[in-house]
Structure 1
Amino acid sequence: MLRHDGPAAFAGYEAEFARLLPELARVPAGAAAPTGLPVSDTPRGYLFDLVADLFRRIAEERPLVLLIEDLHWADRSTRDLIGFLVRAARATRLLLVCTYRTDELHRGHPLRPFLAELDRARGVDRIELGRLDRDGTAAILADLLGAEPAARAVDDVHGRTQGNPFFIEELAAAGDPVGCAVLPETLRDLLLARVDRLPEPAQRVLRMAAAGGTRFAHQLLAEVAGLPEAELEDALRAAVAGQLVVADPDGDYEFRHALFREAVHDDLLPGEHARLHARYAAAIEAQPHLVAAGRAPAEIAHHWYAAHDHPRALIAARTAAGAAADRYAYAEQSRLLERVLELWELVPDAADRLGMDHLRVLEETLDAASTAGDYNRALTLTRAGLAEVDTAAEPLRAAGLLHRRGRLLALLGKSDGTAEVREAYRLAAGVPDTPERVRLLADIAAHLVKIDPGQAASVADEAMAAAEAVGEDVALLPTRIALLCRTDNAPDLGLAELRRAEALARATGNAPALVSALVYLSDVLYELGRYAESEEAAEAGVSEARRVGISRSTGAYLLSNRAEALIALGRWDEADAACAEAARIDPPGVSGLHWLQLRAGLRLARAHPAADELVGRALAFLARPYLWPNHRLPLRELRIEAALAVDDKVAALAASRAALADERLVDLPREGWPVLSAVARAAALVGDRDRLTPPPCAESIAAALPTAELTVCPGAGHMLMMERPDDVNAAVAGVLHQVLTGRDAGTSGQRVGTSA
């Protein structure tokens, strides 16, 4: 107010208000000092009346909102003034908003009785704000970083901060939130300052609790601490009163914030750290019920590893990895098997202890990483596995590693993987028929169908013959399901066979085969124009993939398939929500392109302010060494649409030429027709005086489209639709007339597509 309206806003009471605003007591040289009572002698009640009257005068002119933050730091005079304003504001257009942090309110905090008094006042509402959810954390990070953060970054920051905005800002300010493995020093000191205010016995128990995790059971802590019950309870009571730990009705405890626990744990001395974790491991091994059901193997593995007991940690990690797989927790299984690989070098007799060789551990880790969707790590593991495998002695094992490497290279957009897959086929060719060989041949055929359909059909026939020989049902092979949708020439695109595969997978409880069937079922139904059924199949697949933990791998396309069907049905808001859910899952490699391309197109169509960013992220995939044609062609369309959206006809023309030069354009009608439609809208009709899109450019596009009709309007310029609306309408009407008068259906469809 002083800066905006000057001293006159205080209506001659500058001297009295100087007690609150010392700037008012400073007068320019030569100016008369304000008269009134000395600042130190101004009665407090009189000053409160002046403040209330000031706000009343402002509120009479316009509604006034007064925001007071960090009330937990207010002194008594400030609290008294706020209480006075609460009573005085009832008859004015004044909204008083005060904020405070409940974490700061220990039991003896003076704000507690003040809040209780305010709760009894009329017109006062207390609003409890919970912690931010994941989307809220993402929104803050996007604002702080100036760009939409990666899903992994959001997960990491949200997990560590538990939605506390202050902690989110501190981690973001420290640099890359994902790479910030160590707490920023300023934040660590701030957190530990709260701990230092506790009595020493409470600090000691808090350090013991920190080794047990963010949440810990009273009985487990008692086993580890070895303290008399009364002493332990006194220490915990102090921690609870200090707002560092909260108790729940079940008798367990939890650090109020995960970062409190992290700061205390990081402050442990090395010997103290190892000793405490060893105690936890031994206690849980002896009494697994002390932790949540099903968590004992993972907790034991964690604590023996933190205690640096390598032999015990090795065996415990392998056991915990198996338990994680049983719970469909493949990301956790992958992390635990990575630990087994790490400890292998530190335990001389690791093979004997585990009963398997190092290559087998590598293969299990590769499977877990692939299923969890960590394709970059899986690719590295294939290289390590191929370096160890004896190709001559175990050709099928080597072939399996080669095929997985080729598939991962394609999924990451690094190459088409053809060399690796064909070498895998060569190695598998001389191996006797077994169920493992049948599955490998089906995998190889499904990969080759996108590159060499002829060879793919040949390998598929070989797989079918081998399956009959060994009694394997190929309908349950996920890759065979994919193959059916691409090689069958039936009018229903293999729909009947897919339905059979779905029913068989449900009957046998084969979840991966069921998810795979639903992926391709939703895809085929969409291609047949049965959009509602496609959306239903995709939605069912999303639920099943989530249930068995394969949303980022086998089920990666289900959400985007559902979004695609919803777009076709005109349910754009639901489609955008499905894309947002896919973004949270963050499918790896090119699996994450489909939802990104769809959402970029949606935002482009809606003129969303963030459309450019998403379009740029999607089009960046074109710079990868390799993209499957069904991924590449929609990006060609998106590039044209993006140019048309900003009326950049030159860029649209260049994008159209690049699209028409794509060698797979005519092979994939589902992806090709939308591209041709975009090309047609970019340059189907031009004026002969158009300098931005001159007739020769349009002629080159028309020449590339065998059934396109180019209409040139003499004397017209770039704004053809405005300059010659009758000519434009006549040209479009002429094409439509040709369709309506009975031309060949295939030709007519092309004319409409290229001229609309």
Structure 2
Amino acid sequence: MLDLMTTVGGHSEILVGREADLASLRETLRRVRAAEPAVLLLGGEAGVGKTRLVEEFTRGLAGEPVRVLTGQCLELGEEGLPFAPFAAALRELVRGEGRTVFEGRESDFARLLPELGPASEFGEAHRGLLFELVGALFARLSAERPLLLVLEDLHWADRSTRDLIGFLARSARAPRMLLLATYRTDELHRGHPLRPFLAELERVRGVQRLEIDRLDREGTAELLGHLLGGEPAPRTVDAISRRAQGIPFFIEQLAATADPACSDIPETLRDLLLSRVDLLPEPAQRMLRTAAVGGAELGHELIARVAGVDEVTLESALRVVVAAQLVTFDPDGGYEFRHALVREAVHDDLLPGEHTRLHARYAEAIEADPQLVPPGRAPAEIAHHWHAARNHPRALVTAKHAADEACRRFAYAEQASLLARVLELWEQVPEAAELLGACHLDLLEEAALVAIESGELHRALSLTRAALGDLDADAEPLRAARLLVRRAKLLRNAGKSDGFAESKEAYRLLAAAPPAADRAELLGDVAYMFASMDGDEVDRISEHVRASAGQLGDAAPQVWAEITKGQVCAGRLPAADGLPVLTTAVEQARSRGDDPALTRGLINVSDVLFELGRYEESAAAAAEGVPYASRYGLARTTGVYLLSNQAEALLALGRWDEADARLAEAARQDPPGLMALPWLRLRARLRLARGHPGAEPLLTRAVGLSGKPYVPGEKKLWMHELRIRAALAADDMAGALAAADAALHDAALLERPRYAWQVLAVAAHTVARSRDPARRPATSAPGSVSAGEVEQVAGRVRWAADRLPRRYPAELAGAAQVKAELASGTEPPVIAERPGGVEPAGSAELWCAAVAAWRVDGQPFELASALLRCAEANAADRAAAAASLAEVTTIATGLGAVPLLDEVRTLARRLGVRPAGAGQPADDVLTAREREVLRLVAEGQSNGQIAQRLFISPKTASVHVSRIIAKLEVTNRVEAAAVAHRLGLLTT
């Protein structure tokens, strides 16, 4: 137990029952000192002692070389105060070490600390650059000495604060930094935004979650002993334990009541919290009510202005509430409620008129002198107080002002919330347009754009619909087209429709509009939307884009037009033809510093390079675009596509761990709607290939998305392939065959050869496995498939393969693999004798060709899979089969492809070999006697007949048969005989 420090006025400084929690904090800091960054999420109910624990932890660091910074989230309603805890922490840093800590970049950090001076212009850069600056600062500080960053009351955090915490935890991992965040667990209702944030953050390496428990009866008794200055009576302990239920703050409040025995316990929690207040003189109670309206923290001058009393009266009242341990003060002249629950109870107890009057006085005081609150907080606080005061005109204007300030800080979620308030107030303020200097349509369009940037797609859809309903499209064609294009993209991303009707109407309006930079860009968007819907129209629109850009004589629209042409070509022309256009446009964008165009172009460049089989270049192009997407606020959309493209190329290169890291990064962005499918598809496929149990929830989520009313053709092919692979992994041949049949009937199959060959390859593999007698269930068994059904699917695979092009390495290899798969199992292996060995014929030759094609393409997993099938088809040449299996083993081990390794072991046992080079020399798995027995089993002999033929006992024959079944990993004699025939084990 920790030593007692002080007991003053009913407030114990002792920490009771928290030894293990304190030890956990110290152990985490010890790891941080060893350059292992960490995030500790400290949760617990209100009043359970989170802050007390953190205070004790930081107090124990006094004199140690650890830099401690603290910031607190503020309760200002849904609109929040962007980055409030980080601003407070940086302000503390400046007070302690001076402005030089920013190394001349004060203007960059002025977005968080306005007192540093005018903020630098980031151009069109979004908050990604701000995040990078904060991350770099913390990394530099932690390099000097360990950094402890404490963020209190995360349950009140705004979206921007949560995003910055996520960035620091995932991307900007300062080597010796411990980020310690506290939050109330009892505040996290089902829809609270912190719940999914904490769940996702907890999956990040180095993030630990620690919840503070309530005190038990013994802990309650110990704390009461310190508070009362002596051993409490058992009845007192029982009563308080029953009422306080182990919450230290409640125990303290009960112990501080007028009754020394603590028997006079209020019936409700609110009564408990207010009972201490009721004991105060009326001037002190009035001062406490005034302070409660101002928030958890506020300055002396602000209270004085709002209270409207003379200095002597003010100080007298404040002295009383401080002495009552309800409010604390700091040397800088600020006041803070010792516990937020007290402030909440006092605020909720205000009379309606008192509530309105006090909030209005706070708003007026801060408007008159914004310096009364910390720099940067005035707009949000003023908006909050006018809204609470129900002054609709002032609430409207100040909410719009606060929204603009949130935009300046790149706090899009808070901006969206504030704009929603403005829209709600619009109808209640007749002069709204005059007050804001903008029409309702301007506001709707701005709110829709912000909703998109904050990832609220459904709200953005509602706002664009409302805006289009208010708009005269023919009078404002550019605005109407902009809203229509935006809505078309939203509908596609949400999976609600293809957006064709909106795109077509936008094109009609743009065709008649005068030349403008916006017009050229919007035409490009329309062309891109048309590319997958109307091939006859898209070329004409694409040329229209280029002509429109040329009319302006401005290079920027022309670069954008070239990017658009390249995107359209990437979807409709061979990759080799579209790449030169794209690379030229990307180089132009790079040379001009046009980062948005560069980012958009790099997505398509990486995509085309992948199709051409240039996987290293594809990965590099996607990686180049990722930082730009983050910097320009597009991490959840464009950034996810870039990360997925990079991961896909890394998968093709066999760098699976790197790919998984990129996919994890994409997952953390939580992309909305169908934008999640790229990373879901690739990570599910990776986990299936590795035999990872986490594949199923990804598949379930992906399949759910694919069931939306509209899904683009290529994404449908992704899902067909995943369904087939998942069924095969579960050894569900009927399910795999049904999924393959559905894929082969999808019209999208012939539209995108790159993905179609992947579908055909796995469908053909399903056919080959279904033909295998050892795998096919009996015809009468549940889920069985007939030979006729199998051959129908095989015929459809051939039909589609005959119509797909074979231009690039992966397409050529896919075609070779499909041909070999379809030849497998159609007839017994043909063995032709030749000097020095045997020569495989039939499917073996085709599998050798498939192996050669995959070697040219270079994808190791596909090569290993083909090698495995080649070894199976080439069973009669056991030395060659063993060499192939050894290579498969090497590749699969490096990739972590556990199912593939299992198949290698199974086939090696069935072939009677150990893969040469896999750790042991080639050797028979079946003994000579077991081969003799297997030959007789294949002839249909019973155990008794085998015993007579080999002059052994029936029991010995039975033992041999059991061992053969085990070694071949089959379930009965019939399957063993089928394996023997198929692999040619009976010919040697």
Same structural fold, with TM-score higher than 0.5 when normalized by the shorter chain: yes
The answer to whether the 8 A contact 1:304-1:313 is kept is yes
Q: How far does residue 252 in structure 1 lie from its aligned partner after superposition?
A: 5.7
Q: Distance in 2 between matches of 1:603 and 1:254?
A: 51
Say whether 1:307 aligns with 2:389: yes
Q: Distance in 2 between matches of 1:613 and 1:467?
A: 47
1:154 is matched with which residue: 196, 220, 223?
196
* Alignment of structure 1 residues 93-492 onto 2, 5 Å: 153-155=195-197, 165=211, 193=272, 196-197=275-276, 200=280, 207-213=289-295, 216-217=298-299, 219-225=301-307, 228=311, 230-231=315-316, 234=319, 237=322, 265-473=347-555, 481=563, 483-487=565-569
3-state DSSP class of the match of 2:711? coil
CA–CA separation in structure 2 for the residues paired with 1:507 and 1:248: 54
Contact 1:687 1:715 (8 Å CA) reproduced: no
Of 786, 791, 796, which aligns to 1:704?
Answer: 796
1:347 partner SS? coil
Q: Deviations over 1:613-639 (max 9, x none)?
A: 221111112211111122221111111
Residues 581-601 of structure 1 deviation map (CA, whole Å, 9 limit, x = unaligned): 433432111112222223333
Which residue is equivalent to 2:721? Answer: 637
SS of the aligned residue for 2:749 comes to: coil
Q: Which residue of 1 aligns with 2:128?
A: none
Percent of aligned pairs with the same residue?
44
Structure 2: gaps of 5 or more residues: 1-6, 8-14, 20-42, 61-148, 155-164, 170-179, 202-207, 215-266, 802-817, 829-837, 871-988
SS of the residue 1:552 aligns to = coil
Tell me, yes or no, if structure 1 residue 737 matches structure 2 residue 848: yes
Query: Is the counterpart of residue 550 in structure 1 residue 592 in structure 2?
Result: no
Q: CA RMSD in A?
A: 5.0
Residue 284 of structure 1 deviates from its aligned partner by 2.5
SS for the counterpart of 2:429 is coil
Residue 628 of structure 1 aligns with an amino acid whose one-letter code is P
- Whether the aligned pair in 2 keeps the contact of 1:515 and 1:545 (CA below 8 Å) is yes
- Alpha carbons 1:151, 1:585 under 8 Å: kept: no
Verify the 8 A CA contact 1:481 1:517 in the aligned structure 2: yes
Distance 1:684 1:346, change over 3 A: same
1:622 to 706, 709, 712: 706
- Per the alignment, do residues 565 and 521 of structure 1 end up closer, same or farther by CA in structure 2, a change over 3 Å counting? same
Q: Which residue of 1 aligns with 2:741?
A: 657
Q: Which residue of 2 aligns with 1:589?
A: 673
1:165 positional shift: 4.2
Distance (Å, rounded) in 2 between the aligned partners of 1:252 and 1:434:
54
Shift in alpha-carbon separation, 1:130–1:103, aligned structure 2, 3 A:
farther
Aligned residue for 1:626, secondary structure, equals coil
How far did residue 715 of structure 1 move?
9.6
> Aligned partner of 2:319: which letter?
D
State the TM-score, normalized to the length of structure 2.
0.53
- Distance (Å, rounded) in 2 between the aligned partners of 1:680 and 1:247: 75
**Distance (Å, rounded) in 2 between the aligned partners of 1:260 and 1:499:** 63
Alpha-carbon distance in 2 for matches of 1:546, 1:642: 33
Q: Distance in 1 between matches of 2:428 and 2:706?
A: 44
Q: Deviations over 1:537-576 (max 9, x none)?
A: 5445443333343323443423433443443444444444
Q: Distance in 2 between matches of 1:520 and 1:254?
A: 54
Q: 1:255, 1:511 → 2: CA distance?
A: 47
Closer, same or farther: CA 297–471 of 1 in aligned 2, 3 Å: farther
Does the 8 A contact of 1:486 with 1:493 survive in 2?
A: no
DSSP 3-state at the match of 1:647: coil
Which ranges of structure 1 fall in alignment gaps of 5 or more residues? 1-71, 73-78, 84-98, 117-127, 169-187, 717-726
Deviation at 1:677, TM superposition (A): 2.6
Change in Cα spacing, 1:423 to 1:367, as seen in structure 2 (3 Å) is same
Verify the 8 A CA contact 2:606 2:645 in the aligned structure 1. Answer: yes
Residue by residue, what CA displacement relative to the aligned partner does 1:619-669 show, whole Å, maximum 9, x if unpaired?
Answer: 112211111122221111111111112111111111111112221223223
Pair 1:479–1:102, CA change in 2 (3 A):
same
Q: Deviation per CA, 1:243-281, whole angstroms, max 9, x where unpaired?
A: xx7878876666688777666654544333323332332
Q: Which amino acid aligns with 1:543?
A: P
Cα distance, 1:741–1:575 mapped onto 2, change above 3 Å? closer
Contact 1:563 1:574 survives alignment (8 Å): yes
Give the superposition deviation at 1:346: 0.9
Which is further off, 432-441 or 554-563? 554-563
- Return the offset for 1:695: 2.7
Larger RCO (alpha carbons 8 Å, 6+ apart):
2
Query: Take 1:332 and 1:595, find their aligned partners in 2: how far apart are those partners?
Result: 28
Q: Which letter maps to 1:343? A: L
Distance 2:355 2:558 in 1: 50
Give distance in 1, aligned partners of 2:369 and 2:44: 42
Counterpart secondary structure, 1:424: helix
| Distance across 1 between alignment mates of 2:650 and 2:618 | 9
Cα deviation, 1:295-328, whole Å, max 9, x if unaligned, reads 4323322222222111112222222333333332
Answer whether contact 2:521 2:560 (CA < 8 A) is retained. no
Greater shift, 457-466 or 315-324, is seen at 315-324
Distance 1:140 1:701, change over 3 A: farther
- Is the 1:442–1:480 contact (alpha carbons within 8 Å) kept by the matching residues of 2? no
CA distance in 2 between partners of 1:677 and 1:451 (Å): 27
Partner SS, residue 555 of structure 1:
helix
Deviations 1:152-172 (A, max 9, x none): 75249999xx9884799xxxx
Deviates more, 1:322-331 or 1:478-487: 478-487
Distance, in Å, in 2 between the alignment partners of 1:106 and 1:616 is 38
Counterpart amino acid of residue 464 in structure 2: T
Question: What is the CA–CA distance in structure 1 between the aligned matches of 2:370 and 2:348, rounded to whole Å?
Answer: 26
User: Does residue 682 of the first structure (1) align with residue 766 of the second (2)?
Assistant: yes
What is the CA–CA distance in structure 2 between the aligned matches of 1:373 and 1:639, rounded to whole Å? 29
Letter aligned with residue 645 of structure 1: A
Q: 1:282 to 1:642 in 2, by over 3 A?
A: same
Helix, strand or coil: the match of 2:710?
coil
8 A contact 2:602–2:621 mirrored in 1: yes
Task: Name the CA shift for 1:715/1:322 in 2 (closer, same or farther; >3 Å).
Answer: same
Letter in 1 for 2:445: E
Looking at structure 1, the residues matched to 827 and 646 of structure 2 have their Cα atoms a distance apart, in angstroms, of: 48
Distance 1:322 1:646, change over 3 A: same
Deviations 1:10-53 (A, max 9, x none): xxxxxxxxxxxxxxxxxxxxxxxxxxxxxxxxxxxxxxxxxxxx
Q: Give distance in 2, aligned partners of 1:451 and 1:671.
A: 18
Structure 2 residue identity aligned to 1:735 = L
Contact 1:519 1:555 in 2 (8 A): no
Q: 1:529 to 1:304 in 2, by over 3 A?
A: farther
CA 1:165/1:754 → structure 2, altered by over 3 Å: closer, same or farther? same
- Cα pair 1:673 1:753 within 8 Å, conserved: no
Q: Which amino acid aligns with 1:323?
A: E
TM-score, normalisation: structure 1: 0.68
Q: How many residues are matched?
A: 610
Check 1:340–1:646 CA distance in 2 against 1; reply closer, same or farther (3 A cut): same
